[in-house]
Structure 1
């Protein structure tokens, strides 16, 4: 990235000064102009400094989406601190682990999690200051009182490109969370990529409903506010509330994960809402079954853009609206199953085990090199060395590339099932299961098998009021897959465990089957 370009802190100041009276944030009953936002952010910077926060110190937040989340992100950007967003769905033990691992000095917490924090306080080794976002519960300082008593003077200097800003803990799909360290350079590069590829500008009215503690939430919000666009924030996801907000606030852009799109298009009241203001729906974070994509396009229109990335590498590939084609030659319609092409600003390659580019149709590992890539894992040099080699991030995603450069994600390296020496990719089986009219969700895992090493097991959530037998689903798979890929057993469940980005936690699903085994699939 050319350092002559302003970093995100400078951009926020510039946006606020160029259009101070424009609405920046709307959240429930609260709304703030850019001028008001900058004042509150500067007050928060000085309040955190008064509590002892200095350059590089970690400030954590445990909350559902709210305008204070946005204010904290910009305060750490201006004040040269680091934000540590904490997933509120984690257990108390996991939350304590992240706070201790990050050595967070200060924690902002919303009311509903104050009792949880009180229960783990004696386990926290570095966190000394606790701030209540809504009201000051016992042992918490009141957020509004804290900032109202602080100076609104801007900081005397702004961060450098290589200063750290974001400690983004991975979702722990394969074990304890790891903190991906991002610099002002990498976050600014992410903003630039999104702006140039999503056509976001000051006229955009964006809805943020994905969690702020995930890249898809916090990153999307940063992008929009850097461009001076208005952002409407929803505390959490509810399909009817999303549809109402798009209609009433005339939303132009929203980022969703496939599970959210599934609930929205299957909402019984969907046809009652006016979505004509929508110009773009970006989606990513987990696989989009082709059948769901078709249904979403038929109901909403050809306004979908797929972005693909990860906490460690940011945005990597893009499938634009023009490639979301339902009818036509197979080579065009097949692209609905692609994650797009590598962004031209980055060096995105699919490599074999020898580090060479794969030939069309061969399976390799998706890798990326560029300014958006993390600086490394927090306090984990060995884990960093495993994924960052010569500045290139090895994502752990298995993929193929066709002759035109379109990339197709096959599966996660660690999710691949090896049965009798044959490689089976769960995503392929899941897509077939999802095509059955009774199936709402499906997850495929490998379970122990004395003869074959592993066999294929599917966990399925049926649509409401729908019925289907195990035998019917297995026969459906047999009719659409090579026989060795079909599930040997199917278990019907009420729901699937997911991480904040909407990805199914297959580690959790596998645990009960692999307990006590010599070999673990992690």
Structure 2
């Protein structure tokens, strides 16, 4: 059980070193959204979390609560036979967690941004609260983190939005280099930005000795952002 998606490289290493098969399940404690990936049956889909589980209805919606066109990213919402009745004595939080379709059916909001590929497999892009809006463009931190993590001198990396007088918000990479790293922060910035579109470029790379994590191992992005936002 993890608090964040497994990247495709880690899934491959698990398949190589662990006996048996690998099955990844994405879902919410509250129920409603669940996907299953049989990694051995679909080795070309390791960058996804699989397809919706049986009897699960999952959709993607935009900021206005409208279902997005096929192939477009949106917040993941879902319903299933297994859904909580509500948060205990928190009616406002319960209502905010719900999304209703045109028939009035209740779906649970995941808070995750995703996209379905052409075969119906779900690709997780980012947490909605971690999405960076820079100059009117949506930037998914997870996309940039995958690129940074692929560099051999990077042990781990996270990307957060920081204030920008020009763009309102801009992506900043916080990187823990490997012990044998020889690349400087500026060189890593140039390397990463050469692989993304103009609107996705990082504004800077800062090196850290470590990244703060929760008891479940999640990087505490809110704590990192506090140092930059007034």
Class of the TM-score when normalised by the shorter of the 2 chains:
0.7 to 0.9
Is 2:123 the counterpart of 1:400?
no
Which residue of the partner structure matches residue 482 of structure 1?
197
Which residue of the partner structure matches residue 420 of structure 1?
135
Find runs of 4+ consecutive structure 1 residues off by over 6 angstroms: none
**One of 388, 391, 395 as aligned partner of 2:98:** 388
**One of 7, 11, 14 as aligned partner of 1:293:** 11
**One of 351, 359, 370 as aligned partner of 2:61:** 351
Do the aligned partners of residues 465 and 302 (structure 1) sit closer, same or farther apart at CA in structure 2, a change above 3 Å counting?
farther
Unaligned segments of structure 1, at least 5 residues: 1-215, 217-256, 258-284, 326-332, 517-522
Do the aligned partners of residues 355 and 456 (structure 1) sit closer, same or farther apart at CA in structure 2, a change above 3 Å counting?
closer
**One of 472, 485, 508 as aligned partner of 2:223:** 508
Is 2:50 the counterpart of 1:340?
yes
Do the aligned partners of residues 510 and 323 (structure 1) sit closer, same or farther apart at CA in structure 2, a change above 3 Å counting?
farther
**One of 484, 496, 502 as aligned partner of 2:211:** 496
- Quick check: 1:366–1:396 contact (8 Å CA) kept in 2? yes
RMSD between aligned residues: 2.2
SS in 1 for 2:205: strand
Which residue of the partner structure matches residue 38 of structure 2?
320
Which residue of the partner structure matches residue 468 of structure 1?
183
Which residue of the partner structure matches residue 102 of structure 2?
none
Q: Distance in 2 between matches of 1:488 and 1:429?
A: 12
Q: Deviations over 1:318-367 (max 9, x none)?
A: 11133452xxxxxxx2x211111110132222233455543332011111
Q: Distance in 2 between matches of 1:357 and 1:403?
A: 17
Q: Distance in 1 between matches of 2:33 and 2:61?
A: 18
**How many residue pairs are counted as aligned between the two chains?**
225
- Quick check: 1:399–1:408 contact (8 Å CA) kept in 2? yes
The aligned runs of 1:44-59 (5 Å cut-off) are none
Q: Deviations over 1:111-152 (max 9, x none)?
A: xxxxxxxxxxxxxxxxxxxxxxxxxxxxxxxxxxxxxxxxxx
Q: Which has the larger radius of gyration?
A: 1
Is 2:21 the counterpart of 1:303?
yes
Is 2:93 the counterpart of 1:378?
no
Which residue of the partner structure matches residue 458 of structure 1?
173
Q: Deviations over 1:208-244 (max 9, x none)?
A: xxxxxxxx4xxxxxxxxxxxxxxxxxxxxxxxxxxxx
Unaligned segments of structure 2, at least 5 residues: 100-104
Do the aligned partners of residues 422 and 353 (structure 1) sit closer, same or farther apart at CA in structure 2, a change above 3 Å counting?
closer
Which residue of the partner structure matches residue 75 of structure 1?
none
SS in 2 for 1:481: coil
SS in 2 for 1:313: coil
TM-score, scaled to structure 2: 0.87
The aligned runs of 1:87-486 (5 Å cut-off) are 216=1, 257=2, 285-300=3-18, 303-313=21-31, 316-325=34-43, 333=44, 335-353=45-63, 355-389=65-99, 390-486=105-201
- Quick check: 2:32–2:80 contact (8 Å CA) kept in 1? no
Do the aligned partners of residues 405 and 454 (structure 1) sit closer, same or farther apart at CA in structure 2, a change above 3 Å counting?
same
Q: Specify which structure has the bigger relative contact order, considering alpha-carbon pairs within 8 angstroms and separated by 6 or more residues.
A: 2
- Quick check: 2:32–2:108 contact (8 Å CA) kept in 1? no
